[in-house]
A and B are shown apart, each in its own frame.
Chain A
């Protein structure tokens, strides 16, 4: 029972990171109708920027801010420089360009920084609190949960309660009409990409200190799991990403704890296949999500 509570608590923190990364995929899907397969490589590049700044200044927070800014700039740059030049309404070129970008970024990072795992130190202790003899969340887990919750709340408020959010949604849902109404659609799409990659970078920044260390491939597994989460929740649905993220985080944690760490990716794969076969659009998606 103690073990179960501990695994649940650990899964919650893991799920928050997953949900955040999945949300970033949902944002870019809603903005541009592409799944950004380069999200992991772009987030890894942002984490390297954060790592370099932290190493130079000694401040975790300066690194965190740099990482977020680098992610946002990279997202906007990729949209402006590459994705915009591709024809709309054909998914294949976007996916193939993203794959090319993955290869360029990961190989470039490995050339620039070397392939070895570089340890990143978390700003808070990873020693869990013990409540009633049961180890539960650590201070760093709490920080992760708080940061993810704050960013997701902020994004929800931005999209649903502000004029800018209305413009973003209008540009995504009806670009032509939005442009007639005076929305600068290209700028909104670039902003969507920037927000999305910044969110993904935050998720990666939160994850990397808990793992082996920083490496060009450090975010790959997070991306695959987050893609599964986004698909399970419905690529169109932020709420779906949140729910599926927490659920998948708990599943991964329980499978890792009771079976083995190597069985966890298989469990996620099985869950995604099952959901896709039963509900091809995801659990919380609108019907037209996958035909659009």
Chain B
């Protein structure tokens, strides 16, 4: 019961915090919350099972499209549309995650990374080939501030509230999953597939399950982005965005949920801050630096972090408590 209570407390604090932010900051907060949901999924996947996905942006896009179409189709009150949309986002991203997970269960490091990379590159093509609205994307319904609150808060703040609550709902089960039996199985499979198979843990099922568990929060994150921006376009989920999710997961420390939160804020705020700085540069130079300088810095940071702590990336960085908890139990796990 401790995890849900802590999640509730953090959610309340975050919602309270939105009163201290101006509308643009609240929009950024919503974006960061969306990234947080996806990065939390990604960091658990990479940190606990060692499967590197470069395509979590596509899972977010799947959730976003699912949300946009389902919520637009509902002809009822806003809460109903929201719920149906979120459900559709979870189902669509979960199904895509299941598909990828089935492939991932048979693949190792570079193969899975390449497959998910190909998925990101193929997303614009998929959007124009499948009935997804091409480059224009799909429109998501607008959720206005409820009557009772409309005197109190602006629409950006309302969207930030929704984002925080959805992110909390997406991440809390992940935390429970991670610290429970499923997390133990994932670590066992990462440590030694043969040994875990001997202990009655099926590596394929664990890997597939981990992928689905990681895909659903990402899809809900996509739904949050769809709420905040009222649209889903393939351009919004490109390679740069997908890689920035990896940066966030690595920067926060693979496997760490709290780190995922810090990393998501970093990849949301830092590009904006760098671009603000770049705007001070002369026009020609500024135009070239715009957007690129942040990517350059992220890339350099990613390389520096990995060179400094390669061991921390190859395996889950383990606090002492976790180690004591995990090592004997992997062998007794039924």
Contacts and interface: CB of A to CB of B under 8 A. Distances in A.
Given A91-B110, A108-B296, A272 B118 contact: yes
A99 interface: yes
Interface stretch (A11-19, A79-87, A123-131, A201-209): A79-87
24 contacts: A37-B113, A37-B117, A91-B109, A93-B310, A95-B110, A96-B52, A97-B306, A99-B243, A99-B299, A100-B300, A101-B303, A103-B298, A108-B292, A111-B289, A114-B288, A115-B288, A260-B129, A262-B129, A265-B118, A273-B115, A276-B106, A280-B106, A280-B111, A290-B111
Contacts of A95: 52, 109-110, 113
A44 B113 CA distance: 21
Given A92-B109, A93-B314, A101-B299, A110 B307 contact: no
Interface string A260-273: 10111110110011
Nearest to B51: A92
A235 to B, nearest CB: 7
Interface in B112-135: 113-115, 117-119, 121-122, 124-126, 128-129
Nearest to B108: A290
Contacts of A103: 240, 243, 247, 295-296, 298-299, 302
A74 B171 CA distance: 42
Interface string B217-256: 0000000000000000000000110010011001000000
Given A86-B306, A100-B306, A262-B125, A276 B103 contact: yes
A227 interface: yes
Contacts of A91: 108-110
A223 to B, nearest CB: 9
Given A100-B300, A102-B299, A265-B121, A92 B307 contact: no
Contact of B300 (A85, A87, A90, A104): A104
Contacts of A262: 124-125, 128-129
B110 A228 contact: no
Contacts of B298: 100, 103
Interface of A: 29, 34-35, 37, 82, 85-87, 90-93, 95-97, 99-108, 110-112, 114-115, 220-221, 224, 227-228, 231, 235, 260, 262-266, 268-269, 272-273, 276-277, 280, 290-291
B54 interface: yes
Interface in B70-118: 102-103, 106-111, 113-115, 117-118
Interface of B: 46, 50, 52, 54, 102-103, 106-111, 113-115, 117-119, 121-122, 124-126, 128-129, 239-240, 243, 246-247, 250, 288-289, 292-293, 295-296, 298-303, 306-307, 310-311, 313-314
A85 B107 CA distance: 26
Contacts of B108: 91, 290-291
Contacts of B54: 99
Contacts of A87: 310-311, 314
A221 B115 CA distance: 13
Task: Report, nearest first, the 6 A-B pairs whose CB atoms are least far apart.
Answer: A103-B299, A100-B302, A91-B109, A35-B110, A90-B314, A104-B299
Contact of A92 (B46, B111, B115): B46
Nearest to B113: A95
Contacts of B125: 262-266
Nearest to B126: A266
B113 A220 contact: no
B128 to A, nearest CB: 5
